[in-house]
């Protein structure tokens, strides 16, 4: 059911009405994940890749108190230019931003909410949030995990961000019944790394078999979404030792700087880009594009499967 606070662009609305595949995109990547003007260039490139794969892109955001599924070129440029000055809006922020006519870029959690309200089943992003390192003391756990447990949208990503505690993140997902599918891999990808030490729940090697799992879950009436973990291309992946070295340095600098809360992820990703001499930025852009293309292919397969049922 559509919300009274939701605006769906004509292109996205027409595609949904016609039963065509649509892929949701978050806007925190644009505002907080990438620097200007790379962020705007990447946003347009990702949208084009989705169209070339046969689907319609639906970038989400909060603009003047309205949830948006499908942004204009001008709206994407404004988010890109404003960058980290833009409010980072998760589930908890939607009510007050809507009530006050505020604006914000959407996280994984809020993108899933908007996608579900619009009737969009597939969502592509870079990496999800999860249980942060040291969460036993800080209780710092991303709202992304609870959203995956409750909202019926499949998230295609390159696994949890490398800054997280991967073991505890997987334990959390298991506890709340979120299926983790490895696309072409038996191991959980870790954002900049093609694989970690942890296994996924199941492996699938083509979009059609992933779509069948989505169809089965939702046909059973099970709550929540699924995680499709797509490893970054081998040519762009970081070596494990290099990743751990720059991660350790960035984490210590973050502690020394007293960074906390929702500022942690954008601060760390920016610092990782700096320490690596831009290598992680190139990897980040590459994995976002790969995930968008795969999400479009799965969305296409899911639509075709739904037509036969």
Residues carrying an active site annotation: 26, 161
Rounded Cα gap, residues 214 and 302, in angstroms: 8
In the chain, the DSSP E strands lie at 6-8, 22-25, 56-63, 66-69, 88-89, 104-106, 122-124, 154-157, 180-183, 202-204, 226-229
Please report which helix (H) or strand (E) contains residue 172, including its range.
helix 166-175
- Burial annotation 114-146 (CB, 10 A radius, 16+ → b, else e): bbbbbebbbbbbbbbbbbbeebeeeebbbbbbb
Rounded Cα gap, residues 296 and 302, in angstroms: 10
Residue 3 and residue 67 in contact, taking contact as beta carbons nearer than 8 Å? yes
Q: What pairing do the DSSP bridges indicate for beta strands 122-124 and 22-25?
A: parallel
Rounded Cα gap, residues 88 and 302, in angstroms: 31
Residue 225 and residue 196 in contact, taking contact as beta carbons nearer than 8 Å? no
């Amino acid at each position: 059911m559509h919300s009274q606070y939701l605006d769906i662009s004509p292109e996205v609305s027409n595609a949904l009405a016609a039963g065509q595949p649509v892929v949701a995109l978050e806007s925190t990547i644009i505002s907080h994940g990438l620097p200007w003007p790379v962020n705007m260039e990447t946003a347009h490139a990702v949208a084009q890749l989705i169209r070339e794969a046969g689907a319609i892109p639906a970038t989400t955001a909060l603009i003047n108190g309205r949830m948006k599924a499908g942004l204009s070129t001008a709206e994407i440029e404004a988010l890109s230019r404003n960058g980290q000055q833009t409010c980072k809006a998760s589930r908890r922020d939607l009510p007050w931003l809507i009530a006050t006519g505020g604006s914000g870029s959407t996280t994984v959690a809020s993108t899933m909410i908007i996608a579900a309200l619009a009737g969009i089943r597939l969502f592509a992003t870079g990496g999800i949030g999860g249980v942060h390192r040291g969460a036993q003391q800080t209780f710092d756990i991303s709202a992304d995990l609870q959203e995956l447990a409750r909202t019926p949208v499949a998230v295609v990503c390159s696994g949890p961000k490398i800054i997280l505690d991967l073991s505890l993140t997987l334990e959390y997902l298991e506890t709340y019944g979120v299926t983790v599918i490895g696309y072409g891999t038996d191991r959980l990808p870790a954002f900049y790394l093609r694989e970690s030490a942890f296994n996924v729940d199941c492996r699938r090697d083509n979009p059609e078999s992933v779509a069948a799992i989505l169809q089965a879950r939702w046909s059973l009436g099970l709550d929540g979404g699924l995680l499709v973990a797509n490893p970054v291309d081998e040519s762009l992946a970081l070596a494990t030792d290099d990743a751990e070295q720059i991660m350790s340095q960035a984490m210590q600098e973050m502690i020394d700087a007293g960074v906390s809360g929702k500022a942690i992820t954008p601060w760390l990703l920016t610092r990782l880009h700096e320490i690596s001499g831009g290598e992680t930025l190139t990897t980040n852009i590459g994995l976002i594009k790969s995930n968008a293309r795969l999400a479009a292919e799965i969305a296409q397969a899911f639509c075709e499967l739904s037509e036969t049922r």
